[in-house]
Structure 1
Amino acid sequence: MNEYIKFIRISVNKLLIDHYAKIGLDEKLTILLIRLIEYSNDGSKEISFDDIIEGSTFTPEELSILIQKLIKENFININTKVIDGKHIETYDFNPLYNKLENVIMNKKESTYTDNDIKNLFQYIEKLYGRTLGPSEYERMTAWLRDDGYSTENIKEGIDIAYKNNVTSLSYVEKILHSMKKEDTNEPNVPFINWLEGD
């Protein structure tokens, strides 16, 4: 049995292992992401805390805090989809993959000033008619800091979403990804799934 164990290989995202520190992760968050990705591979069932905790040193309380941190710092999103008539929460790792792509492609981050950020937030607050929350500030700052979007890109994405009567940042993020992918000023507007609240 010992000889057999030596040759077991588990597929792990090598880019994540090689660059986790560069994108702002520590070892604990990296291990958690690896476990989440592994359990999410088939996407056919909801991942329980028990699944993630089994065989690890994570406690339920710590796990909850770490997952919230991954969401807040824009490494993962949580989506809801319907499987066999049941609503199931699934993890979306595209924000993580975008950060890794930026690292390996040596992409330069957008240059922006505090005044640029202030003007961006004031523009959005005036458009939405309300004050932005701390999580919204953090998410949009991550778009500038980690994803390399310019304030003009973000304004354009916000405008497109607003014209479609949507103020969800998840929806705006899909528009930004579309703009980056197609490198055009006329991105495909994502389909709005009202059941998922995007």
Structure 2
Amino acid sequence: MDMKFMLKLVETGSVNVPALLIEHYHDIGLNEQECMMLIQVHSFISRGDDFPTFDDLSRRMTLNETACADLLRRLIQGGFLSIVQKNDQQLYAEAYSLHPLWEKLLRAAYGMTIDLPSKKNEDTLYTLFETEFGRPLSPIECETLAMWMDQDRHSPALIKGALREAVVSGKLNFRYIDRILFDWKKNGIKTLDQAKARGEKVRSHQQRSANAVHSIHHDAPKMPAYNWLEKRE
């Protein structure tokens, strides 16, 4: 291959790394490996690929795909990276966003403090979810959990309550939990006591329906867990 051509690519193909990241990555709680991962993501985004695969990132780093996935998950949990929905020619797809990182860097550069109590609540929720699921959360699951708190404004207590409801119902998945939270928000539920009362009301209605069916079919009544996914608007 032409050496001059290769040299031109090297000289003109650089990616500008914001000076704030180099100067303040340690101040916002990043280590060198995490910082390099974010630089790599920034590089891909700058070149038009806003959702590089674990394999793409692994080829640029001294980490395998699994380690890259774990590192991305930690960065999302830490509020340095997010996954957003984009509309590309009427097709919805995921993309990485570094907006959370830039916000943290601006705060650090101008002496603003990060809300540590909120971060502690997030860490507790992530740990609780991973314990119940029996595995690390995926990057998209981490982002969903962050969206419940940051965009939907669900309190950590309510999110824990919805998780508990899913565990009891034997339907441990994010779609089911999201449906519970949607129902609670729609009905103005903001506390665990209100959520408990809502659940009891729904289950009481189901019990009456089950008894009515029993009177027709002579089957033993059974108290089912409420299926939030079958809830109609």
TM-score, normalised relative to structure 2? 0.45
**Does residue 47 of structure 1 match 2:64?**
no
Structure 1 or 2, whichever has the larger Rg, is 2
After superposition, residues 1-198 of structure 1 pair within 5 angstroms as: 1=3, 4=7, 7=11, 9-41=14-46, 43=48, 46-108=51-113, 134-135=125-126, 168-171=148-151
Q: How many residues align?
A: 128
- Aligned-pair identity in percent equals 24
User: Which structure 1 residue ranges, 5 or more long, are not aligned?
Assistant: 122-132, 138-166, 174-196
Asked if 2 retains the 8 angstrom alpha-carbon contact of 1:76 and 1:91, the reply is: yes
CA positional deviation for 1:170: 3.2
TM-score, normalised relative to structure 1? 0.53
CA positional deviation for 1:4: 3.9
CA distance in 2, matches of 1:63, 1:12: 20
Asked if 2 retains the 8 angstrom alpha-carbon contact of 1:71 and 1:77, the reply is: yes
User: Which structure 2 residue ranges, 5 or more long, are not aligned?
Assistant: 129-146, 154-181, 183-233
CA distance in 2, matches of 1:45, 1:102: 24
Q: From the two aligned structures, give the one with the greater helix fraction.
A: 2
Cα deviation per residue 1:9-47 (whole Å; 9 max; x = unaligned)? 431122111111111011111110001111123556642
Asked if 2 retains the 8 angstrom alpha-carbon contact of 1:46 and 1:88, the reply is: no
Alignment RMSD (CA, Å): 3.5
Specify the code of the residue in structure 1 equivalent to 2:61.
S
Indicate the structure whose relative CO is greater, using CA pairs within 8 Å and at least 6 residues apart.
1
CA distance in 1, matches of 2:68, 2:87: 25
Q: Alignment partner of 2:151: what SS?
A: helix
